[in-house]
Structures are given as structure tokens and as C-alpha cells.
Amino acid sequence: MNDYNENPKQYDPRMHSAEHVLNQTMVRMFDCRRAVSAHIEKKKSKCDYAIDRALSAEEVGEIERQVNEIIAADLKVSETILGREDAALRFNLARLPEEAGGVVRIISIGDYDHCPCSGIHAASTKEIGSFKIISTDHSNGRLRIRFRVQDEQVPLDSSRHGGTRSG
Ligand SMILES: [Zn+2]
């Protein structure tokens, strides 16, 4: 099954790059796979993960924090071309069409994330701007995250918890 839709008219390299960072953040935080389906558009996007529960407000805040940390680190987005067989040893190629041929393009976001992808990306993570989760919900074994990106860095809301955390 492949319901990984990306509407060409709405295609936005920043949003799509944010999706890569979000996927890796989810893999690291929840030991899940990358999004099982995604709908990426300029204004707002959504990604679904095979996670068997809803998230707490703290977890949602932590995802945002980690994604924004990677954006702020201004990691370079680069590509590597691998032979399909080599790529298959390291990556799940299920989403790449067979017609893609004998080579696979791996997109790297610094050392943070490596993923086979044929899309168009920001040159570095800072171009993404800032990442904001609009909402999350859980149903039928899927966690859905709706998010957007925006140009300006959002001032951190530190009033509620009495300051910022470090470490
Ligand atoms: Zn991509």
C-alpha cells in the first residue's frame, strides 16, 4: 500500500524537509518507523505513525523542541547516490518505485537523518524556519500529527514552567 501523497501544486521543499526531521525525531523518541502515510502541503501537513497510543502534551512539546533544535543547528541537506542493492541493505526501499532504476538517492540531514528520497529539499535546516505542531490525535492504531512551518522563530513560551531547560 502506498498512500504517500504529495500534491505537486502544493509541494513545498521546506515542509518536506521538516517531514524528514520529524520522521527521524519520531523514530528516536518512540522507536517507531517513519510515517506510514503523509500529506505534505504548503500551509499545513500531516504525518501518521504506527504508534499504539495518544501522546501527552509534554511529549508533543518535546517533539517540537527537538525538531526546532535540529532546524536551529542549520544542518546541511546533502545527497548521496547508492546502487539499489547497497541501498537496500541499509534502507527500507518499499516506497521507491521499481522504475527508479538501479540507483537510489539518499538524502542526509547532517548526521541526524538519512533517507532514500527523490523529492526536493531545503539546502539546510535553517531554511525550514520554525516547526509547530497544530494538533495530534490517535485512532485505529495510528497517531496523526498535524504541523506547519513558519518563517519567523517563535519566541519560546517559558512563562508557564518557570524558565528554560538545558541539557
Ligand atoms: Zn525528501
Whichever domain contains 58, its CATH number is: 3.30.980.10
C-alpha 80 to ligand 1 mean position (Å): 13
C-alpha 157 to ligand 1 mean position (Å): 30
Structural domain count, the chain: 1
pLDDT tens digits for range 34-90? 999 999 999 999 999 999 999 999 999 999 999 999 999 999 999 999 998 899 899
Task: Answer yes or no: is 159 within a domain.
Answer: no
Task: Answer yes or no: is 61 within a domain.
Answer: yes
CA distance 36 to 143: 10
pLDDT tens digits for range 144-157? 999 999 986 555 55
C-alpha 94 to ligand 1 mean position (Å): 15
Task: Answer yes or no: is 26 within a domain.
Answer: yes
Single pTM value for the model: 0.84
CA distance 69 to 74: 9
In terms of residue numbers, what domain contains 37?
10-150
CA distance 148 to 42: 8
Q: What is the pLDDT of residue 140?
A: 92
C-alpha 68 to ligand 1 mean position (Å): 18
Q: What is the pLDDT of residue 29?
A: 98
Task: Answer yes or no: is 155 within a domain.
Answer: no
C-alpha 70 to ligand 1 mean position (Å): 16
* 64 Cβ contact partners less than 8 Å away, ≥ 6 residues apart: 131, 132, 133
Task: Answer yes or no: is 135 within a domain.
Answer: yes
Task: Answer yes or no: is 4 within a domain.
Answer: no
CA distance 26 to 103: 27
C-alpha 138 to ligand 1 mean position (Å): 25
